[in-house]
Structure 1
Amino acid sequence: SISSLSYRAKAVGVHKCNGASGGTVFSMFLLETGIIILLSLILVAFLLLNFREMIEEMLEVRLTSLFALGRIWVPLSVIGILFLIGGVIPGRMFSRIPVSQVFRHYTEGKKGWKRPLLFIQFLGVAFICGLMCVIMAQYHYVLSKDTGYDARRIATSDIYFESDSERDAARQFFRGLPYVEDVESASYPPCIGMSGMRILNESGQSLFSSRYCVETENYPKMMGMTMKEGRMARERNEAVVNETFAKTMRWGDDVVGRIVHQGNTGLGDLRVVGVLKDFHTASFYVSQQPLIVRCGRFGGSIHVRLKEPFAENLRRLNTEAATAFPTKTVDFYSLEFEMQDAYGVVRVFRDATILAAVVMFFVMLMGLIGYTTDEVRRRSKEIAIRKVNGAESSTILEMLSRDVLWVATPAVIMGTIGSWYVNGIWMDLFAIQVPLGWPVYVLVGIANLLIITVCVIWKAWRIANENPVQSIKSE
């Protein structure tokens, strides 16, 4: 907008020569800016309405509260600043300048002040693109990575029973439902995390804290967990440990039959009767933890594997279970959705980064197109003279591209390095990280430079292939 003012000076001079007053010129600028801002606000309203849920999730606030009376000054201030820069200042400037001065002081725009702005745009796009690629890759990685158990079509709810007869009746009820494949129970769903148990040495000193869970005998089989050796615990003083537990205790391959001394005095020592292959407890924010499992009675966190269609059968399960257990709170939910919810913050950050990348990309394109258009217009006669003296179209395109790449290359390198640094800090939140290396950042940088070069060539193609006589003869 600012760079176009010098080119609009002659048009304003012509208006004044034909009788336009200062007020007419001023109102012309205000009307033009007002129409552009109005169209922008209509587009903003359309985007807000259609992406309302995503925006509210990202901001964690209702959309209507953003435009409450106490905050309405923020968007109004933005609109006011845009109107002032785009309409009031240039309109007032041209309405007060005499027509003779407009023609006399008309000069070609210089590019010195544009390059720093272009540098910032290139840097910002490279930074946000590097950030976006890694965040998207990490989010997909933690959702698709094998956890060591099968959460598909599993519905779970916390229901506690007071007597053995009540437990048996509940188990029979769930197994009798035609859309239920299997039902078992545990203390906690594996993705939520489990309580701790202090593991002691023979002298009673604390060694470490292990995760601890009570499960029905067939729970590991239903969940697709693998028993590496031995069997599931059946008695009160029996236990099953995972591979990490055995490694932490430095038992080697001789695990079954070992005695575990633990801090719960009511249970006493536990004898290991089996080893579970490691499955990930909690989320991938934490590393693999040692686990000890005992056999328990039916109840607590009920796990039901449903047949397809899962969503419909989940609704039926909640309805029929609530009717069967009217004195208990029944709320079955998808275990897969619960696992995804653990990474809700990552999903919101990913969506916000994608949105920022799209916005930054279009801002960069607008800046680059404006800069290239100005340069082509400013150097049109120079380009024509070069062509008269034998320069090929490819030479002209190379010259203009090189001029932009001198700005773009260091900006993209700095932006990519910045994204690498920030990604490193962010990835420290995860114990399990997607295996990405420096080639990803190299590809991001190359892709940015390629898009910039293509954009410059596209805008300069016409002038590079135009008859030089057209540029030289035109005023």
Structure 2
Amino acid sequence: MIQNYFKIAWRNLLRNRAFSAINIAGLAIGLASCMLISLYVIDELSFDRFHEKADRIVRVVFKGSMQGGKFNEAHVMPPTAAALKADYPEVLDATRLRQGGSPIISIDDQLFTDNKMAFVDPNFFQVFTLPFAHGNSKTALADPNAIVISEALARKFFGDKNPVGQLLTFKGSRDKARIAGVFKDIPRNSHFRFDIFASLINSGEAKSTSWMQSEFFTYLVLPEGYDYKKLEAKLPATVRKYMGPQVENAFGMSFDEFEKKGNMIGLRLQRLTDIHLHSDFQYDLGDNGDVRYVYIFGAVATIMLIIACINFMNLSTASSSKRAKEIGVRKVMGSEKRELIWQFLTESTLVTFLAMTIALVTAIIALPLFNQLADKNLRIDLQTLPALCLYFVLFGLFVGLFAGSYPAFFLASFKPIAVLKGNISSGFSRNSASFSMRSALVVFQFCVSIVLIIGTMVVYNQLRFIQNKKLGYDKSQVLVLPDTWALGKNQEAFKEEMLADSRIAQVSSSGYLPAGPSYNNNYSIYPEAKSTELVKTLRYDVDFDYIPTLGMHILEGRNFSREFGTDSSAIIINQTAARMLGWKEGALNHTVSNSDNAGKRSTYVVIGVVEDFHFRSFHEPITPLVMVLGKGSGTTIAKIKTNDIPALISSLEKKWNAFKPDLPFTYSFLDDRFNETYKAEQKTGKILGLFAGLTIFVACLGLFGLATFTAEQRTKEIGVRKVLGASVPGIVALLSKDFLKLVGIALVLAAPLAWWLMDKWLQDFAYRADIAWWMFVLAGALSVVIALFTVSFQSVKAALMNPVKSLKSE
């Protein structure tokens, strides 16, 4: 019997090739889209779950607020790990990590760069599951000069040889490092990825007892099933115990007085598995994701699948009139309704598996493009294939039964006497209800499409707002050379050679940049020696040329000048800092002070107020900032004035190489660094735009199915109208208006939903564009035009039919 079902199903597909192709194509697009987004969602949710103790590890983070801004940092103070382990028995183990940059490594007179390094405690590999290919993970970092490297780095340095015991030389260090182990490459779904781990045993900073400086990423191992919130509730006492005396020493007031001023500082805990999707911390170890986008793309995948199934239902019922007599004859010959239902479910399952096969091939082909859009490295390989095949079978059965259930029961409900007489309309049970059902499904499809169209427009409108908003500095034609520290004593000579080039207008040295990766710090000041009136700021160490090079504007006073020897104790503040300090006007010649951890005070005279500029992303409001004269930096910034960028870069590279530094010449542009800040929003806009287009296309297939069904139902009516003198445009308008009503209803439903969703998304920006009315008009007009074009094809075909054939009795 089952074999017979499949044989009839296959014959029916071949008999209606065009319709079957449309049906399979719509389902395949929906399934392929769902498959790709599912890979993305699964990858995002998998971060850090490969560690054996993943559900027991928490990270200690630093949160707080002071007048002028908030503390929201992923790293904490050096003694935090030891203090928590000593004070709380539920802390079974604690380990730390400190970033070590990208050192220059020398092996047999060869120099290697771009290898990320971190310093960790010796027990790091007992907390995190990073299997070793060579060496003993438990003792590898017991030696102060020991390091462990990744398999990829071992192959790069030593080929296929076991490198354990080999010595490496780090540029600038007298001691050689001994390779004590090789760990297997860290998976991509990890919140940290390093090539080298070195021991913290000899680090002076690691032994520091200061609770007023941070930079140590600290992780705790808790008992199985323990609620980390219980430990978090005890941490305020720890902060008061250890940090309180140091706060009093630095700021001249007790911890209670500090808090009474409205200040708040404290430690919090974050689960390891939450780091990637639930982090908004500064100074984190990498670019984290955002759980909101997982929800958004997960919803898009689900909706795409639902729309594909809806199309299947619409197209199947639209073709039902062609099989009405077949069903009538089967019922007369004794076929039961149950058998007909199984027949049509078999057909839907067959179509689904054909669509799944096409979807799988499409997903594999489209995966590189999707990886580029989503900034991922997703793969379908031999390791994932068994699970994918199981998913393939189960998913195919589910979709086949789900999508085919409505057409199966619908088609099996035909009344045999009515359909054999040619009265197809009366052959449907509850005909008006079934038509309303299909209309509702079309409304749902276009409602989703309109929401995605409006969402895409809002995202791109916000990105355009960011690009066009006044930043307070000029990011155009600003060249950034990040590694000029490698020139050593020749850095100033290189800068002079740059200034001698007529294509370069200004040159400055500072690691503090208003866009992209930048030096950061926490700095607190107070006005006129009033130490209890602390204001949190960011401090920029700059040179004399920094402000003119970046095109910033001095509103009051002047820039730093070589003509004033006292400028070493001068300070320039931004407008927000002046306002926070109580000087809305007349900030010049006031003094501000800063106290270090030991309570030593430094006092500066305000010589200028710079116009507020955006030195963080548009997600954050502008906060107080101060500028002081620094001692120089390893980053060089140049304002250029030429359109022949390649020639200038080539010239600078030759000058760089003439000094024979250990690092290759690297550069970037400030506007590119600015755009990189909004990579997540750009990615979201591209993915939403892509799936909005696919959703509209699949929805149009459903609309085509409904138009086909309606035209076949009204064939005789159209013939009568044409005999009585109705024109082709009039008939097209008659058949189209009902569908345009459906699109209109979809727009009415979609508009408030789209506004609510995108308003929630925009709330994450401190500076945002408005949701304009024209977006809804444009989305509606676009939907109407697309729907009209889709329906008109079938309407014109029906209107041009010979009325004699339409009225001829069967």
TM-score by length of 2: 0.50
Paired positions, count: 461
The answer on 1:240 being equivalent to 2:600 is no
Shift of 1:124: 0.8
- Could you list the per-position Cα deviations for residues 157-199 of structure 1 after superposition, in whole angstroms to 9, with x for gaps in the alignment? 4447699965533433544568655321124111146434223
Pair 1:226–1:66, CA change in 2 (3 A): farther
Q: What is the 5 A alignment of 1:81-100? A: none
Distance, in Å, in 2 between the alignment partners of 1:291 and 1:318 is 34
**Superposition deviation, residue 345 in structure 1:** 0.5
SS state at 1:113 partner: helix
CA distance in 2, matches of 1:14, 1:319: 85
What is residue 198 of structure 1 aligned with on the other side?
524
Q: Look up the match of 1:297.
A: 631
Is residue 535–residue 581 contact of structure 2 (8 Å, CA) maintained in 1? Answer: no
Q: Cα distance 1:33–1:433, how it changes in 2: closer, same or farther (>3 A)? A: closer
Using the TM superposition, give the Cα deviation of residue 438 of structure 1 relative to its aligned residue in structure 2, in angstroms: 3.3
Structure 1 pair 312–36 and aligned structure 2 pair: CA distance change class (3 A):
farther
Q: Which residue of 2 aligns with 1:283?
A: 617
Check 1:28–1:210 CA distance in 2 against 1; reply closer, same or farther (3 A cut). Answer: closer
1:69 to 381, 385, 394: 385
Question: Equivalences for 1:27-38 in 2 at 5 Å?
Answer: none
1:465 to partner: Cα distance = 5.3
1:43-442 equivalence runs, <5 A: 44-48=363-367, 51=369, 53-55=371-373, 57=375, 60-64=376-380, 68-73=384-389, 74-75=391-392, 77-78=394-395, 107-108=424-425, 110=431, 111-159=435-483, 167-175=491-499, 180-192=504-516, 194-202=520-528, 203-234=530-561, 235-264=567-596, 268-306=602-640, 307-310=642-645, 313-314=648-649, 317=652, 321=656, 324=659, 326-327=661-662, 331-389=666-724, 391=726, 393=728, 395-442=730-777
Listed one character per residue, the Cα deviations across residues 199-248 of structure 1 (whole Å, up to 9, x for unaligned) are 32443113432222111111111112222332212412111122232333
Unaligned runs of 5+ in 2: 1-314, 331-342, 562-566
Structure with more relative contact order (C-alpha pairs < 8 Å, separation 6 or more): 1
* Structure 1 unaligned residues grouped into runs of 5+: 17-24
**Native 8 Å contact 2:723 2:803 kept in 1:** yes
Change (3 A) 1:370 1:66: farther
Contact 1:167 1:298 in 2 (8 A): no
Instruction: Kindly indicate whether the alpha-carbon contact (under 8 Å) linking 1:184 and 1:218 is maintained by their aligned counterparts in 2.
Output: yes
Worse overlay, 406-415 or 99-108: 99-108
* Conservation of the 8 A alpha-carbon contact between 2:589 and 2:606: yes
Q: Give the direction of change, closer, same or farther, for the CA distance of 1:207–1:437 in structure 2 (3 Å limit).
A: farther
3-state secondary structure, aligned to 2:424: coil
User: Which stretch of structure 1 is more off in the superposition, 350-359 or 448-457?
Assistant: 448-457
What secondary structure sits across from 1:275 in the alignment? strand
Higher mean C-alpha deviation, range 163-172 or range 203-212: 163-172
Residue aligned with 2:320, SS: helix
- Residue 268 of structure 1 deviates from its aligned partner by 1.9
Give the whole-Å Cα distance in 2 for the aligned partners of 1:379 and 1:67. Answer: 54
| 3-state secondary structure, aligned to 1:268 | strand
Distance 2:633 2:436 in 1: 73
- 1:413–1:445 contact (8 Å) kept in structure 2: no
Conserved in 2, the CA contact under 8 Å of 1:9 and 1:103? no
**Matches of 2:486 and 2:798 in 1, distance apart?**
85
What's the offset of the Cα at 1:115?
1.8
Deviations 1:409-455 (A, max 9, x none): 23222222211111011111211212333342243234323432443
Structure 1 stretch 249-258 or stretch 334-343: which is displaced more?
249-258
Query: Are the equivalent residues in 2 in contact too, given 1:190–1:281 (CA < 8 A)?
Result: yes
- Return the offset for 1:80: 6.1
How many angstroms does 1:103 deviate by?
Answer: 5.6
- Give the Cα–Cα distance (whole angstroms) in 2 for the partners of residues 66 and 364 of structure 1: 34
Q: Which residue of structure 2 aligns with residue 21 of structure 1? A: none
- Distance verdict in 2 for CA 1:151–1:330, change over 3 Å: same
Deviation at 1:364, TM superposition (A): 1.2
Q: Which moved more, 1:213-222 or 1:388-397?
A: 388-397
Partner of 1:20: none
Q: Secondary structure of 1:206's partner?
A: coil
State TM-score, norm by structure 1.
0.80
- Letter in structure 2 aligned against 1:54: Q
Paired letter, 1:261:
S
Contact 2:509–2:637 (8 Å) recurs in 1: yes
In structure 1, distance between residues paired with 2:383 and 2:722:
57
Instruction: Report deviation, 1:142.
Output: 1.4
CA separation of 1:197 and 1:66: change in aligned 2, threshold 3 A:
farther
Say if 1:52 and 1:433 are closer, same or farther in 2 by CA, change over 3 A. closer
Tell me the CA shift for residue 118 of structure 1. 1.0
**In 1, Cα distance between equivalents of 2:720 and 2:763:** 57
Give distance in 1, aligned partners of 2:602 and 2:360.
70
Matches of 2:402 and 2:584, distance apart in 1: 73
2:361 & 2:559 partners in 1: Cα distance?
64
- Alpha-carbon contact 1:248-1:290 (below 8 Å) kept: yes
Is the Cα–Cα contact under 8 Å of residues 450 and 783 in structure 2 kept in the other structure?
A: yes
Distance 1:442 1:273, change over 3 A: same
8 Å CA contact 2:486, 2:662 repeated in 1? no
RMSD, aligned CA: 4.2
- Verify the 8 A CA contact 2:571 2:608 in the aligned structure 1: yes
Q: Which residue of 2 aligns with 1:9?
A: 323
Query: How many angstroms does 1:363 deviate by?
Result: 1.0
Report % sequence identity.
21
CA distance in 2 between counterparts of 1:28 and 1:130 reads 37
Q: Is the 8 A contact 1:56 1:62 kept in 2?
A: no
Contact persistence 1:217–1:296 (CA under 8 A): no
Is residue 159–residue 299 contact of structure 1 (8 Å, CA) maintained in 2? Answer: no
CA-CA distance at 1:121 after TM superposition: 0.5
C-alpha displacement of 1:354: 0.6
Q: CA deviation at 1:281?
A: 1.0
Return 146-155 or 420-429, whichever deviates more. 146-155
Per-residue deviation at 1:406?
4.0
- Provide the rounded CA distance (Å) in 2 between the counterparts of 1:378 and 1:312: 70
The answer to whether the 8 A contact 2:452-2:688 is kept is yes
Q: 1:267 to 1:149 in 2, by over 3 A?
A: farther
Selected match of 2:798 from 452, 463, 474: 463
Shift of 1:127: 1.0
Structure 1 residues 29 and 136: alpha-carbon distance in aligned structure 2, compared to 1, 3 A threshold: closer
8 Å CA contact retained: 1:412, 1:449? no
| Contact 1:200-1:263 at 8 Å conserved across structures | no
2:325/2:420 contact within 8 Å kept:
no
Cα deviation 1:384-421 (Å, max 9, x = unaligned) = 33444565555544443332244332322222221111
Q: 1:150 to 1:143 in 2, by over 3 A?
A: same
- C-alpha separation in 1, matches of 2:407 and 2:786: 33
